[in-house]
Each structure stands twice: as structure tokens, then as C-alpha cells.
Structure 1
Amino acid sequence: MNRMYTVVLVVLALPFATRAQERPESYRSAAVEPWRPAGVSSELFESHAAFDPRGSDMYFVRSDKSFAGWRILTTHCEGAHWSTPKPPSFAGKGLEADPWFTPDGAHLYYISTRANGGMRSKDLDIWRVDRGIDGRWRKPLRLPAPVNSDEAEWFPRLGPDGWLYFGSNRPGGAGKNDIWRAREDAGGKWIVENAGPGLNTARNEYEALPSPDGSTMVLAADGGYFLSQRTNDAWSPRVRLGAEINVNGSEIGALFSPSGESMLFSRDTGEARSGEFFVWHRDGEEDWPPRCGTTSS
């Protein structure tokens, strides 16, 4: 959105991994189509979907038509349809957005102004909520400084390399908002560093989404969606994705399927619906996002 705690990461031998060395141009011919889950899609703006690996719940962000007033909602697949979206049990006051599950479903990262309950995006910090052995969410935890700063933090995503990637407008970057990364060492000290020139420029970079195998990064920045590839411990110079995805520059909130072969994101269509989901099937075959009855596509 404009926008380490130790966990057991599930790193799979994915089809996506075999393509790590392909040229970014090969990603420009994928099929893109709307995804309109009944009961979720509305005349407002839905974005930043996250699917619970442990069940049939979908978390997402709903905001008004001007893309303000961000709130996280959750819906459950009841067999034939998605339930009426409602705030999750851990919801707080203020703005909340950008939910993301760890692959084992034990933790969910998101951003929130709940520390002061305000409505200023500048007050957004990274929070994590952990799941107890009973399956219920515990009390949310605000990540400490230097992960959080006096500026806004955006879109926390934990990569298979152990780094937590996020956007921030903090000092010391290449320009405006940059992509940063953080990790906790064995002594409990947090290390935070700029994610490097492959991702960051003098313009805005907000959201960085590592692929499930860690070989590729999809970046939301001024100018649309970009692609970068992993080269040792750095990211290659980014390349803008094609017109199938970058239609008008409003694309945001990407989520890879577990296989890495598909990607869900949102776009402001400028029509009756302010914003809606689109799914990118690179090979046009994967049955994803999760279906709920016959009304979810």
C-alpha cells in the first residue's frame, strides 16, 4: 500500500525456481483477468488479499473510493459463498492494512496506526500478531525500532532469505519512500538496512513482494510494477512489467500463489467499482485464487 521474529519458513521446490534465470521480458505475456469474489467485491476499493494457510479465511483491505480509511476485513468460505466481511479479532483503532501470512500460518504481519488510533498514514507501523496453540490470535505486537521509525512503514513481507522487506519514508534512503529490510540476530538485536540500488531510486518505492522461492521480487513503485531477480545477496536492476499488468499505474497489493505461478493484485478501474482484484496467471492454467462455491470468479 502507498503506501524477525524467528519463524519456520517453508521453502518449496517450486516450478517458479526453475525460471529464476529467465529474462524479465518473459513475464510480459501472462494472462490477466478480473477476480470478483461475490460478497467481497463492492463499489469500494478492495486490495491486499491474504489467504489463511490453515483454513478457508481470506483477509483483505477495504477503503473508500478515494483509497482512504484503510481497514482490514476477513471473510470465511462457508461452502457455497464467502461470509459477510468483518474486522478480525485483533482489529484496532485507526488505519490498518497490508496483511500477510507466514507460510505456516502461525503469524500475520500488517501495518497499523493503532498505537495512537490516528488516521494519518505517517503513523503507520509494522505489527505482528501470533496464533496460539488454540488457533486464536493473540495480542498484536508492535515491532521495535529501528524496524519502525517516525515515518510510515508499508507492506511487510518476510522473504525466504530471512529478511523482512518493507517500504518506508525514513531518512537515509535513495530518495523518497524506499524498500528496506530487517532481521533479528541471535542476540535479539534488529538489523535494518536499505535493500539496495536494484530496487530503489530517487522516486517512490512502496511494496516489495518476494516470490515463494526467493528468486524474484515484484516491486510496486512510481511508474507501476517492476521485476527484479536475486543475484547472490543483492537484487538485479529492476525491469518494468508489461502492459497486461501495468494498465494505469494504480496497481497495488500483490500476492503470489503458493506455487509462484500466479499473482493477485488490485487496480483502480475508474468505473462503478473504485478498485477490484485482478489475477495474473503466467501460464494461464493454475486454478487460483481459492474458490468458494461457484461465485468466486
Structure 2
Amino acid sequence: MESPSKLSTALLVLGASLCIGCTNPKGIVKFEPGNISTKAVEYSCTFSSDDTEIYFARSEQAWGSGDIKSTIYHAKKKNGKWSTPKVASFSGTHDDSDPHLTIDGNTLYFISNRPSANATRSADIWSVARNEKGAWGTPMILPYPINSEKTEYSPRTDGEGNLFFASDRPGGYGQGDLYVSKLKDGELQPPMNMGNTLNSSFGEWNLEVNDKGNLIIFEASQRETNVSPYGDLYISFKQDNAWTQPQNMVELNTSGSDLYPYLTKDGKYLYYTSSDSLKGKSTHIYVTEFRKLRWKYEQQSNNLKD
């Protein structure tokens, strides 16, 4: 991502000005203010492994105003500077959001309500692949039962190609649950609910997994431990083939919506989306150093286990 020295300096200088729902807010800055984080609604970013491309969702409608229509934007970095974002070649007509670029950069997953001859029209997971010239091809909807007649959210893959996502399909524990579709012999298998340690009787939505598939950060709504009922970020670790009890990441969460986490491939930085306050009408993309946060919550998980 950004060079450590440059980003660390920015975090120290600007981080204390952001009012976060914790006792000692620091080290959190708005990403690319005025260019990528603007007066519009921006959320759900994903970067290429070499940090030269970003894809994210943008809407001109107010956050929380109902079913907003979003478009996926794309920018490139050259000589340390990000270009002005442009609409991605495969987006701009339908409601598209939640982009996720795979590790090799050759496939991008996203959510869209665009029509398909093979499915009931709903917000489903689609994928698009780069051709030999590096241009994006024609998006394809993922098959059922990965998709459902209900809404899917936030597709993410780990280093093995397993697909994680959220859905409000029937049969879960609550309003929305986290699912995983394992990759076997080159084919994604029917999705499995990730269980009631992560999922609850409330809502679990947008998520991020690391490349090893042993760390997950996700948005949860209406839990008693939430700072905001509208969505807080939680973290859990996979230990002995089981997920630890999710912990509220209090340094990040505000009275508004905090969601759409993204981890850099080296694990140094965490990007996420926030509306900053209960009445916030816009969302922006923020970035913070992650390694100390990970160490803190991993130690706490070990203590809870003991």
C-alpha cells in the first residue's frame, strides 16, 4: 500500500481529529480525501496486490436513504499518486457494489441486481475476468445455490480460492448470516453457513478474510455489545479449526455505520467504511495500521480461551 513512512506520518498527524467511539482515538485517517473519499457516498474498497489499482463503490444518494443505486469506480496509482476515479468498464448501468479483486488480479467479484436469464432478479454475486489484453470481459452470474432468491453481500476469497459472503437467505440464524463456498477441484461447492459462533439471531453482513482464511472481520448489527445498532466491526480468529468468539473493534466503531473491512495482503493496514455518526448522510473510506490491533484482539482471544 502507501509507503509505511508516508502513511504512518499521515496517521499520526490526522488520526486524532476523527471522533471515534473509543476512549483514545488515534491512527485513523480518511483515504484520499477529495479524490476517492468525496462528498458522495463511497464504500467497499479493494486493491490489487501490487497496490496500483483500487476499485470501490460510489453513490450520489444519501446514506441510509433506502435502496441506493451504486456504481463501481476504478483508479490507478502512478508515481505514488492516485488518478481521478472513473466508472469501471463493466459497471454504470445497474446497481453494482461490493467489489473484490482476487490475489492474482485476474478476477473481480461484485454484487449486482442486473438481470440474468438464469436467475430471479435480486442482488447476486457476479464475477468478471480479465482478457489477454488486460481488459475486463463480460460479467457472469455465479450459479445457484451460491446465489439465492434473497440478497447476497460482500464476496471475498482467501488464498485458496474459497468464497466467503453474507446472505439473508432462509435457513440462517438471524437477519443475515456469513457463508463459505469451498473451492474443490476448481469448482465452488454449495455454500455452508459459518455457524453460530460468528452468526447470531441479529445481522451479520459485510466481511473480510485474510489470505490464510484464519482471520475474519465482519459487520454485525443490533448486538448488545455494539456501539451503534446500525453496524459495528467485529473480529474473530480460527484456532484449532474453530472460530473464536467475535470481539467488537471498539477503536474503529462510531455511532453510525462501520462496515466493509479490507485488509492489505501484507496485513499491515485495514481499510473500512464509516458514516462517522448516527445522522451521517455520507460514508467515506478510512485506513488505519492493523498489526497492533490484530495482536491486541488475538491476545484477548487467547485469554478468553484460557
TM-score interval (norm. to shorter): 0.7 to 0.9
Aligned CA-pair RMSD: 2.6
1:248 and 2:255 aligned: yes
TM-score normalized by the length of structure 1: 0.76
Counterpart of 1:34 in structure 2 is 30
Q: How many aligned residue pairs are there? A: 252
1:163 paired with 2:162, answer yes
Distance 2:268 2:188 in 1: 35
Decide whether aligned partners of structure 1 residues 200 and 145 sit closer, same or farther in structure 2, where only a CA change above 3 A counts: same
1:102-117 aligned within 5 A: 102-115=102-115
Q: TM-score, normalised by structure 2?
A: 0.74
**Aligned CA distance change for structure 1 residues 262 and 29 (closer, same or farther; 3 Å):** farther
- Residue 66 of structure 2 corresponds to residue 71 of structure 1: no
Q: Any conservation in 2 of the 1:153–1:168 contact (CA below 8 Å)?
A: yes
Structure number with the higher helix fraction is 2
Q: Which piece of structure 1 moves more, 226-235 or 93-102?
A: 226-235
Q: How far did residue 55 of structure 1 move?
A: 6.7
* Contact in 1 for aligned 2:163/2:188 (Cα 8 Å): no
1:236 to 1:249, Cα distance in 2 relative to 1, 3 A: farther
> CA 1:52 to 1:149, structure 2 compared with 1: closer, same or farther past 3 Å?
same
Give the 3-state SS of the residue equivalent to 1:263 in structure 2: strand
CA distance in 1, matches of 2:41, 2:105: 26
Cα distance in structure 2, aligned partners of 1:140 and 1:208: 22
Work out the CA distance in 1 between the residues paired with 2:164 and 2:181. Answer: 7
CA positional deviation for 1:234: 3.0
Aligned to 1:259: 266
CA distance in 1, matches of 2:70, 2:188: 31
2:49 counterpart of 1:49: no
Q: Which residue of 2 aligns with 1:231?
A: 239
Check the 8 A contact 1:75/1:83 in 2, yes or no: yes
Shift of 1:53: 3.2
Match in the other structure for 1:135: 134
Does the 8 Å contact 2:160/2:183 carry over to 1?
A: no
Matches within 5 A, 1:179-190: 179-186=178-185, 188=187, 190=189
Q: Which has the higher contact order (CA 8 A, sep 6+)?
A: 1
CA shift, 1:65, in A, is 2.1
1:45/1:276 contact within 8 Å kept = yes
* Greater mean deviation of Cα atoms: 199-208 or 177-186: 177-186
CA 1:113–1:273: 2 relative to 1, 3 Å: closer
* 2:83 paired with 1:87: no
Given that 1:38 and 1:81 are in contact with CA atoms closer than 8 Å, whether structure 2 keeps it comes out as no
Q: Distance in 2 between matches of 1:142 and 1:30?
A: 41
- Relative to 1, partners in 2 of residues 1:249 and 1:216: Cα closer, same or farther, differing over 3 Å? farther
Q: How does 1:133-212 map to 2 (within 5 A)?
A: 133-186=132-185, 188=187, 190-212=189-211
Change in Cα spacing, 1:161 to 1:202, as seen in structure 2 (3 Å) is farther
Judged with a 3 Å threshold, the aligned counterparts in structure 2 of structure 1 residues 278 and 92 are, in CA distance, closer, same or farther, namely closer
Preserved contact between residue 218 and residue 259 of structure 2 (Cα < 8 Å): no
TM-superposed CA distance for 1:202, in Å, is: 0.4
Consecutive unaligned residues of structure 1, counting only runs of 5 or more, are: 1-27, 117-121, 285-297
Report the Cα distance in structure 2 between the residues aligned to 1:59 and 1:138, rounded to whole angstroms: 16
TM-aligned CA deviation for residue 35 of structure 1: 2.3
**Aligned to 1:123, what secondary structure does the other structure show?**
coil
Q: 1:173 to 1:115 in 2, by over 3 A?
A: same
